[in-house]
Amino acid sequence: MNYCFTFPIVGKNKSKRFSRIVLSFFLASFFLISISANAQNKIDIHGTVVDSSGAPIAGVSVLQMNSKVGTITDASGHFEIAAKLPSSLIFSYIGYESQTIEVRKNDNLQIVLRKSNAASLNDVIVVGYGTQKKEDVTGAISSVPQSRLTEIPSTNVLQSVEGSVPGLTITNTSSVPGKQPDIMVRGQNSIAAGSGPYIVVDGIPLIQTQGSSINDINPNDIASIQVLKDASATAIYGVRGSNGVILITTKRGKTGKPQIRYNGYTGIENIAHILEPRSPAEYIQKYADYLSATGQTQTSPVPNYSELPNYNAGKTTNWIDATTQTGIMQDHNLTVSGGSDKVKYYVGGEYMDQKGVIKGYQYKRVNIRSNLDIDITSFLKIGMSSYLTSNNYDGGRANLLLATAMSPYGNEYNADGSYAIYPMYPELLYVNPLLGLTTQQINRNVNINGNAYAEVTFPGVLKGLKYRLNTGYIYFPERSASYTGRADNDMLGTASITNAHTNNYTIENLLYYDKNWGKHHLDFTGLYSAQQRRYITATAGAKGFVNDIISFNNLGAGATQTSSSYSDRYASNSQMGRINYNYANRYLFSLTARRDGASVMGAHTTKYGIFPSAAFGWNINKEKFMQNISFVDNLKLRASYGKTGNEGIAVYQTITTENAVRYPFNGVSTIGVLAGNLGNANLHWESTKTLNLGVDFAFLNNRISGSIDAYKNNTYDLILKRSLPIITGYSSVLDNIGKTKNQGIELSLNTQNIAGNLFKWETSIVFSTNRNRIVDLYGDAKDDIGNRWFIGKPIGVIYDYKMLGVWQTGEDPSQVDPTAKPGDLKFSDINGDHQITADDKVILGQTTPKWTGGISNTFHYKNFNLNIFIQTVQGVMKNDPDLSYADESGRRNTPAVIGYWTPTNGNNDFPSLAYNNTRGYGWARNASYTRLKDITLSYVFSQKIVDHLGLAGLTIYASGKNLYTDTKWIGWDPEDNYSSRGSGDWTNNYPLTRSYVFGINISLK
């Protein structure tokens, strides 16, 4: 087929015009065709960005590589972008690791951003009374890794933090459900005053409230935790800062549509390590060996005649099984957050239920939180943070201490099915460990906490000036009630009820000024605050009830009644100023001074103290001579010096008080007074001067990052009791005497070992070492042996005899310990006087660790995440109560692992069963340990599955805690403080538990 195109003949001018029209037509056609072709190569790529828990992340930057095409995720974490295929998209968000994803087909993408192993220098962290960019911080501040807060299920957030922050020592001396661990920052500065850190939640102090604890904070509500350690960071809190400060910030709402999230888990617990009693056969053998060692004739195979029928019948009881159970715990969290440009909200609720591994122990917590931020105008912002926590510890409890003493042939029940009061009758020293379950116990408290703020930002010529008013109120009511009756071996019946409450308020006026000019930056923070706490408690009791039916519900039915009450008040005022200056983000300076006044100080003092600090920072990596050193991403030197304080005493200790007593006078009961406390009107704060040197570093595109700090604390004017002649009517008085020194090194190291597209491996290592020593006590350079305080030695030491072994048959003890006989413990004659006396005691070790560490390895493969955390505590020594039963050895069962000497076995580690330990040897042993603290495996479902389910995000996980402990300690656990019979509180004899948890995190669209 032929085509012929003809054009009419036109004139010259018309021809030019026509040519331009044709050319324009072809150019336009080519342009449209190009656009069409280009459009055909572009597609709409969409997906969702979530964190490692499956929660959507709003505001994530999505950028096509080598172009200006980009977008951000919405409140549901969703994004949509038109881009060519194949294409590389870069996903980035502050505090998270950036990811580059190559897209080859139009899939519904699900991108999982993981928290950055090391905080970006531009990240904002919380400091005292404000925030700062990480690169501008001059103090020693450590942030708790976000993964420990979001990915480790725990009933108390400190359980997850333990071992993950250098310099922060958290010790679980008892695993009783709902019990708060002991906390210490950078070791112990004070001898007798408090050594716990100051805890601040959303700007309002927590620890000043009687009975309140960090256990009242729902771990799911916590956004971040910062630990302030040196004077530059803590002096801003004055008298409360010498033991460190922990800042807790809770989650708040963000702009976007409502985000509804559910986080829940359930799991089981068991005792991590059981100190097994002797088996029935071993128990029988031990009794025979005991009679032989004490020279007694054996007439029965068992110590008590009530055991004989069970022995003859072959009937035994495993008392550990009888008093313990499989613990069950569950936790459910539901949160709703969101907001507009003007109003942002976060509302959360929690229900937690934990059934303990020892019968009767339980803990229930109900928590409701509401955080609100409202922009009233362009210059006025108001908000609130409030929560209510109800804690329930009700129930009678079994006694594990007594369970370990029971004979396997003892009687658990009477013939009528009731508990036998004396399972080994006529042995009356040990009652049935299950009797506590028959008591009626109520133990509850509620923490009602409300904080509010108003913030005014000044415009115009006052630009940079801001005023903020913080107010906080805490109401903390407590109630406990108890009744013990006939079933618990109380033949009269005893009841008591205690009601107490605390009112606490805090008011803070804060003035901020922020100014930038050229390369200069200056900011100022000023504070005036007041705090007051009132506490009151009243107890009523009764004894002698006709029966056990009424319990504690009618104390008037008792034959005798008792009552008591107590009330106190604490108040403080503070003023503070802080100036931060930096030049070109290279040279950083910080000056802080705080003036504190506290009601607990002596009347003859001003009650006020001033606590200044200064700090310097140098961002070396921003210097010109560092610009060509490409492998250095961050290098900063820090130095600080300052003074902090510790009020360290309870109220009314500086005033002289008398105690009311009843005494008979002329046959009538009369009220009189006796000498109580001798006050010291000149008593003032303990003070600590702190020097800190530190370096922050990051290399190889942040593949390696961390910090190193070295510090030295000198504490003086220690608050100690000075002994007085008893003729004065008082045995001691508090005084400012004594000095201590505390120093250490801390290391934090983060590495990204493998950073592939499908597989990633990250490691975090923390290490800290601490040495404290007593410099002076009473000004006379003398030791206080009675309190085991020694000049030049650590504050907490083990001072005891040095055990060499056991005296064996044929050895002659006459030149060392003339009274010893074979089977007795052999001690070193330190002073060489041929006898063992108190003068032979030496310092065997210290009660605090010489060093601690932790290593966390996190592996990511596709949608799987695996975290393994190992913790170690080294160089600590404790007395082991499980190694000594003195004269009880023949009357009770003992742990199978603890041997004993006989003439035939020649045991050189444990003495004869006849040995009574009259010298009170404490059996000090190495309590160091290395623990596989937790393993958590999670899976984040793909967006395709999540969309099919109609959800925004879905993650499931399994976690195990306290899985294995390597230690030389003989006992339940080296971390526990276990009380022996007749000492301490047996209710805290609750060993470390191992838990297995399964959980799910759901985000709704």
3-state helix, strand, coil in the chain (%, to 5): 15, 50, 40
Q: What is the pLDDT of residues 807-857, one digit of tens each?
A: 999 999 999 999 999 999 999 999 999 999 999 999 999 999 999 999 999
Q: What is the pLDDT of residue 923?
A: 94
Q: Is the pLDDT of residue 492 over 50?
A: yes
Quick check: is 600 in a domain?
Answer: no
Q: What is the pLDDT of residues 266-279, one digit of tens each?
A: 999 999 999 999 99
Quick check: is 93 in a domain?
Answer: yes
Q: What is the pLDDT of residue 45?
A: 83
Residues in the chain: 1005
Tell me the pLDDT band of 731, cut-offs 50, 70 and 90: confident
Q: What is the pLDDT of residue 211?
A: 58
Q: What is the pLDDT of residues 276-319, one digit of tens each?
A: 999 999 999 999 999 999 999 999 999 999 999 999 999 999 99
CB burial string 67-104: b at 16+ within 10 A, e below: eebebebbbbbbbebebeeebebebebebbbebebebe
Give dist(CA 377, CA 374) in Å, integer.
9
Higher pLDDT, 189 or 886: 189
Residue 917: Cβ within 10 Å count: 17
Q: What is the mean pLDDT of residues 505-522?
A: 94
Quick check: is 37 in a domain?
Answer: yes
Q: What is the pLDDT of residues 417-446, one digit of tens each?
A: 999 999 999 999 999 999 999 999 999 999
Higher pLDDT, 20 or 290: 290
Quick check: is 106 in a domain?
Answer: yes
Find the CATH number of the domain harbouring 42: 2.60.40.1120
Q: What is the pLDDT of residue 909?
A: 95
The answer to whether 129 and 203 are in contact (CB under 8 A) is yes
Burial class (CB in 10 A: 0-12, 13-18, 19+), 10: exposed
Quick check: is 86 in a domain?
Answer: yes
Q: What is the pLDDT of residue 491?
A: 94
Quick check: is 345 in a domain?
Answer: no
Quick check: is 108 in a domain?
Answer: yes
Q: What is the mean pLDDT of residues 235-246?
A: 86
pTM: 0.86
Q: What is the pLDDT of residues 354-382, one digit of tens each?
A: 999 999 999 999 999 999 999 999 999 99
750: its two tokens? 């983060």
Quick check: is 301 in a domain?
Answer: no
Residue 848 main-chain phi, psi, to 5 deg:
-115, 150
Q: Is the pLDDT of residue 706 over 50?
A: yes
Sign of CA dihedral 620, 623, 629, 634: positive
The answer to which of 236-240, 626-630, 931-935 has the lowest mean pLDDT is: 236-240
Taking all residues of the chain, what is their mean pLDDT, rounded to a whole number? 89
Q: What is the pLDDT of residue 373?
A: 95
563: its two tokens? 């009552």
Q: What is the pLDDT of residues 118-146, one digit of tens each?
A: 445 566 778 888 888 888 888 899 888 87
Q: What is the mean pLDDT of residues 569-578?
A: 94
pLDDT above 70 as % of the chain = 93
3-state SS, residue 294? coil
Peptide bond into 794 cis (omega under 30): no
pLDDT above 90 as % of the chain = 63
Q: Which domain holds residue 25?
A: 1-113
**Rounded to 10 degrees, what is the CA torsion of 298, 303, 307, 311?**
-40
- Radius of gyration for the alpha carbons in the chain, expressed in angstroms and rounded: 35
If one counts the domains in the chain, the total is 1
Q: Is the pLDDT of residue 456 over 60?
A: yes
Q: What is the pLDDT of residue 11?
A: 45
Q: Is the pLDDT of residue 687 over 60?
A: yes
Nearby residues of 554 by Cβ (< 8 Å), 6 or more positions away: none
Q: What is the pLDDT of residue 27?
A: 43
